[in-house]
Amino acid sequence: MSDEFFVKVRRAIGFDGLISIIIGAFILFLPGRSARAVAGMMGAALIAAGLFKLLSVFKKDSVNGTTRLGHLISSVIYIVAGLFIFIDMQAAAVSLILVVGILTGMAWLIEGIIQLTILNQISTNKFWSILSAVISVLGGLSLLFSPLLGGILVWTFFGVTLLIIGIFKIIQYVTLKK
């Protein structure tokens, strides 16, 4: 590996570690503000997508009227959804946490069900597969029955994970020598 490439890789690891620590600490120590910040980013993205969609409605010459109307309606929906996020950032942050809890719960539930359905294809010890599937199903159901608390726990876990990864990357950056 060339010296220049090594220096670039080392810097990338250090920068990644620093960003991970900052974002992880932000999520962990200021969970409400970090959720509002992410909701704000989503609102800005929705508004930008709506505006680009709206501009594309006026640039298309070969599209028929019905398709153009559909694009116009969807662009207005994007813009209005983005504006609603900015109108009440606290509600948007709570909604974000709810969505995180619900989607994580659904993913775990589906994963557990899939694990249970493929048990007959596993020829080795099935105990660990059954245990993992049951834990996934129970965890998914608990998140679905209490999505706000589950979302907060998942959000906090995400912050802790980013913080730990960032610390390890900074240690790797400091100890990396050619």
Q: Once rounded to an integer, what is the mean pLDDT over residues 70-85?
A: 93
First to last CA, the chain: 9
CA distance 108 to 130: 14
CA distance 52 to 141: 39
This prediction has a pTM of 0.72
Q: Which two tokens stand for residue 158?
A: 């995400």
Q: Once rounded to an integer, what is the mean pLDDT over residues 7-22?
A: 92
| Number of structural domains in the chain | 1
CA distance 83 to 133: 41
Sign of CA dihedral 48, 50, 53, 57: negative
pLDDT in the model for residue 87: 94
Q: What domain range is 114 assigned to? A: 3-175
Q: Which two tokens stand for residue 96?
A: 């974000």
Q: Which two tokens stand for residue 154?
A: 């998942």
